[in-house]
Amino acid sequence: MVNVTVLLFFTLNVSTTLTPVLHRSFPYGKAPSTFGLKKAEEIEPVGPYSFAIGGPNNDIYIPDPVNGNIKIISSTTGDVIQTVNFSGYFDDIRVDKTGKIYILDRTGARIIEIDKSGKSLKIDKLDYEIVKNPCKLVVNQQGLFIKNLTTMYNPKTKSTGSPTYEAGIHNEHLDLFYHKPDGTIKQIAQLKINGIVSAEVLGVDKGGNLYVQIEVKKPSQGVYLKVLKFKENGTLVGNYTIPKNDYFVWTARLLDIDENGEIYQVLPGEDHIEINIWKTE
């Protein structure tokens, strides 16, 4: 076990630089290149509820339930390159490298598969016990999974296993665990982080680096959104502060990473929606 104790706001000798790759804003509305937003005093705002990176070019797929579609944004230009007709407010979205789209519907206990034309390909019914607690979809080289804090469920094989990496917090410490194929668990890092309130594993890049999203509350300054980058052995090599964390609409996915370690953000704000991509150094 590798134990590392670091006060992140004063971390030295790790990368902290985010290099902008893409920044794009879209207004709310009903036009083709806008996103819908529904707000009223008696309800929480309704808008884009998640996003996914997918297809051969790592384009960004954003559900727009108010306007009844999924917008595909080029990760190179930031333009809307396609609109997929698909109605409904659901829980998560993932996209594989072929562009096949997976929608998680926890209320209906199902996964909906559609293609880029909006044609329904398949509906996988699930045992409600699998999705009754907060969970998300994961698409990787092994296939499609439903992930909660401690388990990964494969709807194809109907089997349950453990995630490769797990992040947890207690007493202002971040704990990182590696789940070995034989079922044993190894703690690879423990960090002291003043004010930490949440932690979530984002994924692993093609170099084997692990990325963890955390939220840190600082007195009188609000909640900061950060991404920590670790080597496979638990060594902290990056500590990146995301410039904005003012999400107006609840979204299942604050950030994501691609296989190159670039960080993606889709931020539904009060007046517009922002899309950001950064390269870590």
Helix (H, G, I), strand (E, B) or coil at 9: helix
For the chain, the domain total comes to 1
pTM of the model: 0.92
What parts of the chain have a pLDDT lower than 50?
Answer: 1-12
Does some domain include residue 2?
A: no
Mean pLDDT of the chain: 91
pLDDT of residue 239: 95
Residue 1 lies in a domain: no
Residue 18: give the domain boundaries.
Answer: 8-280
Q: What's the CATH number where 19 sits?
A: 2.120.10.30
Q: What is the DSSP letter of 10?
A: G
In a domain, 74, yes or no: yes
Amino acid 148: pLDDT: 86
Q: In whole angstroms, what is the distance from residue 253 CA to residue 231 CA?
A: 23
User: Considering the domain boundaries, does residue 3 fall inside one?
Assistant: no
- Give residue 41's pLDDT: 82
Is 102 within 8 Å of 155 (Cβ atoms)?
A: no
Mind listing the pLDDT tens digit for each residue in 228-262? 999 988 999 999 999 999 999 999 999 999 999 99
